[in-house]
Amino acid sequence: MVASNQDEEREVTECPKKPMNAFLLWFLDPSNTMKQRHPGLKHAELMSVASEHWKSMKEIEKGVYKKKYSQLMDQWNRDVAAYKKYCAAHGIRPKFQVSADAQEKKRDCAGDDDDAGTKKSISAYWLWSHQAREEIRKENPKMPMKEVMQRMGERWKKITPEEKHEWEDKARSENEKQKKKQSSAKKREP
C-alpha cells in the first residue's frame, strides 16, 4: 500500500486485509491479562473463557474496542474502494476475499434460487436445536461440539410428539414472517 498524505485519497495497490472485530482487538490488547491468568488452557479453551468474559463486560468497557473497530472498518472500506479504483485504472481484476457487503448479504441470504435472496425454510429441529445446544453447553461447557451434536440428536429422538408439534408451530410462524418480509421486499424493488 502507498499513502502520500492522510487527507488525500490513498492509492492501494494490494488487497486490503479486513480488520479484526472488537472482541479480537480486546483479546489481543497488551493490557488484557487473559493469557496470563489462564496459562494452562489450550487456545480453544482460552477463547471460550475470553468469550464468556467479553459477554459479561459492560458496554462502556467494550466501547473503546467497538469504536476502534468502527474506525478500522471505515478505513478498510475506503481502502477497498481505492483498491478497486486502482485495479480498474490498471486493467487488473481485483483479488480479495468477500467484501463486507457481500459477506452480510451471504449471511442474510441462504438460498441462491432467485435475485431476491430468499432464505431457506426454518425447520422445527433447527429452532429446537438452538435452545437444546445452549442447555447442553451450560451443563457441559468443555464438551466437544461433535458430542454436543450427538446429544442433541438423541434428545430430539426422545421428545414427545406434542413437544415436536409445538416446535413445528413455531417454525411455521417463523417461515410465515419470513415470507411476509420477502414479499414486502419484492414490492419495494424497482
Q: What is the chain's length?
A: 190
* Residues 74 and 120 grouped into a single domain: no
The verdict on 85 and 164 lying in the same domain is no
CA distance 122 to 172: 8
Closest residue by Cα to residue 10 from 59, 74, 101, 102? 74
Residues 94 and 122 in one domain: no
Q: List alpha helices for the chain, DSSP H.
A: 22-27, 34-37, 43-56, 59-89, 100-108, 124-139, 145-158, 161-188
**Whether residue 6 sits in one domain with residue 49:** yes
For residue 182, what pLDDT is reported? 78
Q: What is the pLDDT along the chain (190 residues), one digit of tens a residue?
A: 444 444 455 677 788 888 989 988 888 887 778 788 888 888 888 888 888 989 999 999 899 999 999 999 999 899 888 888 888 888 877 776 554 555 555 555 544 444 445 567 788 888 888 888 888 888 888 888 888 889 888 888 998 989 888 988 988 888 888 888 877 776 665 5
- Which of 108, 131, 160 terminates a domain? The answer is 108
Calculate helix-pair angle for 124-139, 161-188, nearest 10 degrees: 120
- The CATH number for 176's domain is 1.10.30.10
From 58, 88, 108, the end of a domain falls on: 108
Q: Which of 100, 101, 124 is nearest to 173 (CA)?
A: 124
Q: Do 84 and 122 belong to one domain?
A: no
26: buried, middle or exposed (CB in 10 Å: 19+, 13-18, 0-12)? buried
Give the span between the Cα atoms of 124 and 92, in whole angstroms. Answer: 47
Predicted local confidence at residue 3, as pLDDT: 45
**Angle at the Cα of 171 (from 169 to 173), degrees rounded to 5?**
70
Q: Could you give the CA distance from residue 134 to residue 9 in angstroms, rounded to a whole number? A: 47
If asked whether residues 185 and 91 sit together in one domain, one would say: no
Q: Are residues 139 and 68 in the same domain?
A: no
Of 53, 84, 108, which closes a domain?
A: 108
Domain that holds residue 156: 114-190
87 in the same domain as 3: yes
| 123 and 98, same domain (yes or no) | no
